[in-house]
Amino acid sequence: MASSSSEEMSKKKMKLSVGCWLRERRVRDIVREKRRLVEVPYNATLSSTVNALLANNVVAVPVAAPPGRYIGAGGSMILESDPATGAVRKQYIGIITMLDVLVHIAGDEPLGADCEVDLDRTMASPVSSVIGHSLEGLTLWSLNPNTSILDCMETFSKGVHWALVPVESQADDEIAVELVKASPGYRMLTQMDFLSFLQANMNELKDITIHSVGELEVVNENVFAITKNTKVIDAIRSMRSYSLGTIPVISADASDDSGEETILQDGRGRSLIDAFSVIDLQSCSIAQLQSMLNATVMEFKERVSEITASTAGTVEKQSQNLITCHSETTLAQVITEAALAHVHRVWVVDEQGLLRGFVSLTDILGAIRNKALASENELQDVPATEPAI
């Protein structure tokens, strides 16, 4: 009996190794090799901001302004100081994302409204006037580089997609979120950085990732979708309404031909055709986007593919891949495929290819963190069950 109890305790300690390993790793381990922060000034036009996003192959950048002129998003005061004198040089007032740009393009018109968009005038707006059009732009996070990966995962598992990590930090403790911070420089930490880190260290997480996404209950069944006949401008307005960076494209059925089609639909049980993403819109010029706003999303994607093919070898453009899985697919496989394809959502389909839900990076990080914490709590209960000797 003692031997059996000892073996059981040994197995529980092995389970705890995931939590211990994640606690021992620090945020600095992820951002150490990242490139210099890409940013835009507060008075940059939206057009130049989109060019910066495209040139650097990113979907979000922080906005820098002279210190003291703005209240930072979420009340934060994230400052960059001169490395020699310590004098504050700039303040980061928020994050501008491609979704913010799309929300601005869509304007305040309701879904289905038939109107022309003057992109030249729209894209001439200063970027500072667009911050906060989507919910993500309203908050700006800074994470202490000494924060453990496990603690940091709590923040990112609640839907935070980006955070700034100071190159130098005067705080030695493990404060996860810092609202007032000055540093000679910063690095951007993203959910995708986390995914790549987990994928590169899959062996350390195998006790968790061997389970299927169905077992881990990470499949989100609340799926808003558009049909292949939806116009690009209406797709953008739908994404604005629900702060979606990606939306699935489903087949149209007979009821959609009645002339009373609802733009956003419940996608469950419908045939998944493709996905429409902010990255698709980022892959073409402003002039090209202007001419395609009233095209259907599938016509738009075909034209973007043609544009991308015609510029192959001169300009590398990021494409949005449609990655699917089943509820029986292991989390390890989902992480690997999402990391390789650089996508934030993996669509869950059944054997007939009908959409059943999706797994997001937020879901993945939350599942791993919860399992790691559960294993720790389980081990803490072990001594109380061991017989006294």
Domain boundaries, the chain: 18-190, 224-312+319-374
Architecture of the domain defined by 18-190: Roll (3.10)
State the pLDDT at residue 381. 57
Residue 74 identity: G
Q: Does the pLDDT value for residue 191 go beyond 90?
A: yes
> 3-class SS at 94?
strand
Question: Which of 102, 50, 46, 74 has the alpha carbon at shortest distance from 242?
Answer: 102
Mean pLDDT calculated for residue range 33-59: 88
Tell me which range, 91-95, 306-310, 356-360, is most confidently predicted by mean pLDDT.
Answer: 356-360
State the pLDDT at residue 3. 53
- Please report how many Cα atoms fall inside a 13 Å half-sphere around the Cα of residue 280, on the Cβ side: 26
- Please report how many Cα atoms fall inside a 13 Å half-sphere around the Cα of residue 344, on the Cβ side: 21
Mean pLDDT calculated for residue range 69-94: 80
Q: Tokens 């998003």 belong to which residue?
A: 73
Q: pTM for this structure?
A: 0.83
Architecture of the domain defined by 224-312+319-374: Roll (3.10)
State the pLDDT at residue 315. 41
Residue 362, token pair as written in the block: 């937020």
Residue 84, token pair as written in the block: 């020699």
**Per-residue pLDDT tens for 245-301?**
899 999 887 555 544 456 888 999 999 999 998 888 777 777 777 788 889 999 998
Mean pLDDT calculated for residue range 2-18: 56
**Per-residue pLDDT tens for 105-163?**
777 666 555 556 677 888 899 998 888 776 676 778 888 999 999 999 998 998 888 89
Q: Does the pLDDT value for residue 26 go beyond 70?
A: yes
State the pLDDT at residue 255. 57
State the pLDDT at residue 5. 56
Strands 88-97 vs 77-81: parallel, antiparallel or unpaired: antiparallel
Round the average pLDDT of the chain to a whole number and report it. 81
Q: Does the pLDDT value for residue 363 go beyond 90?
A: yes
CA distance 47 to 53: 10
Tell me the C-alpha to C-alpha distance, in Å, between residue 51 and each of 46, 203, 209, 286: 9, 39, 38, 10
Mean pLDDT calculated for residue range 320-327: 86
Q: Which residues contact 51 (CB under 8 A, 6 or more apart)?
A: none
State the pLDDT at residue 158. 87
State the pLDDT at residue 111. 58
More confident residue, 340 or 116: 340
When pLDDT is cut at 50, 70 and 90, the band that residue 320 belongs to is low
Q: Does the pLDDT value for residue 226 go beyond 90?
A: yes
